[in-house]
Amino acid sequence: MKPEIEERYSRQILFAGIGREGQRRLAESRVAIVGCGATGSALASLLGRAGVGKLRIIDRDYVEASNLQRQNLFDESDASESLPKAVAAARKISGFNSHIKVEAEASDLTPDNIEELLVQVDLMLDGTDNFETRYLLNDYAVKNSLPWIYTAALGSSAVTMNIVPGEGACLTCLFPETPAGPLATCETDGILNSAVNLAASMAATEALKLLTGQKQQLRRTLVSEDLWRNERAEVSSARSRSDCRTCGSREFIHLSGQRRPHITLCGRNAVQIHEYRRPIDLRRMGERLQAHGSVRHNEYVLKFWKEPFEMTLFPDGRAIIKGTNDAAVARSLYSRFVGN
């Protein structure tokens, strides 16, 4: 280990649970963080500073001012430029740790691209805001025998669970179906940045155990902490269910593309159009749209305002339509201004 590297991580190396061998393992590790909002950006920061050798950050969204209360990798300039979160996060991490490799993927994780986006990683971390993507991650993890860590924060609560295929429960074991009825979101229930950081800290610590080869230290429960009510609950995840659809019967319905709806994004009145995968020249599209509303673009995104809607268009043809929760309205707007 080079002297400058040993000095950088000296306090971590002094910790008996990691040491020089653990630090070497971290430097050789490859981690994918799916979703770089609140928990995802905190996870990326923690693991980037810990010296994980390669981080791949996958996120479909862009930075807004409302993110800055809890998403600690971003600043006001990122929001004013509407930078993709993956790109903004990669820049920040490279600024405080130039010794590691950070890959930015400004993409929506789907059954069509999951093999490409998650190739050659040792661990997957959940920074998403919806169960559909988590079930997709779970299918991929179980099918490929890859560990992942479920992480969530909402209101004042932090939740996390380790999933090591073949060594305990998977996500479907504990949640056979998406919770019924309207689900709470950041928009409806708000969120404390302290809950975000607690969730990320718990998950990042479990990630360090896995990446340094210390599975015996892993927590074998789903744990939930409510910081405001001072409540804690744990459910055992030590054993899988024999009747589990995913790890028992090995039915990967989310990986096959079944049950994939439009997803209403956390924290806003918006719908994502994700089935249109085609390259778009943002400059030329901006010229086209100027006659119909206000337009601003950079190399990563194009923003188009047509009252009462706001459309954010990405180079692969994906779009986020803000101002509606109605998928039909969003599709209509997309077809009208971008095309079928």
**CATH number, span 3-236:** 3.40.50.720
Position 158 scores a pLDDT of 97
CA distance 34 to 104: 11
Tally: H helices and E strands in the chain: 13, 13
In the chain, where are the structural domains located? 3-236, 270-337
The CATH number of domain 270-337, selected from 3.30.310, 1.10.1760, 2.40.128, 2.40.370: 3.30.310
Q: Over its length of 340 residues, how does the chain's per-residue pLDDT go in tens digits?
A: 788 889 999 999 999 999 999 999 999 999 999 999 999 999 999 999 999 999 999 998 899 998 999 998 999 999 999 999 999 999 999 999 999 999 999 988 989 899 999 999 999 999 998 888 999 999 999 999 999 999 999 999 999 999 999 999 999 999 998 765 556 667 667 899 999 999 999 999 999 999 999 999 999 999 999 999 999 999 999 999 999 999 999 999 999 886 565 555 655 688 888 765 678 899 999 998 998 999 999 989 999 999 999 999 988 888 899 998 887 888 888 888 887 5
Q: Which amino acid is at 291?
A: A
Position 235 scores a pLDDT of 97
Position 179 scores a pLDDT of 67
Position 105 scores a pLDDT of 96
The rounded radius of gyration (Å) of the Cα atoms in the chain is 20
3-state class of 142 per DSSP?
A: helix
Position 187 scores a pLDDT of 63
The CA-based angle 90-44-193, given to 5 degrees, is 115
Position 255 scores a pLDDT of 93
3-state class of 232 per DSSP?
A: strand
Token reading at 30 = 């490859």
Position 263 scores a pLDDT of 57
Closest CA to 113 of 252, 314, 302, 277: 277
Exposure string for 223-244, b = 16+ CB within 10 A, e = fewer: bbbebeeeeeeeeebeebeeeb
Angle of helix 85-96 relative to helix 38-50, nearest 10 degrees, comes to 30
Position 318 scores a pLDDT of 86
**3-236 and 270-337 in the same fold:** no
Position 236 scores a pLDDT of 97
Query: Could you count the other beta carbons within 10 Å of the beta carbon of residue 101?
Result: 14
Position 267 scores a pLDDT of 54
3-state class of 126 per DSSP?
A: strand
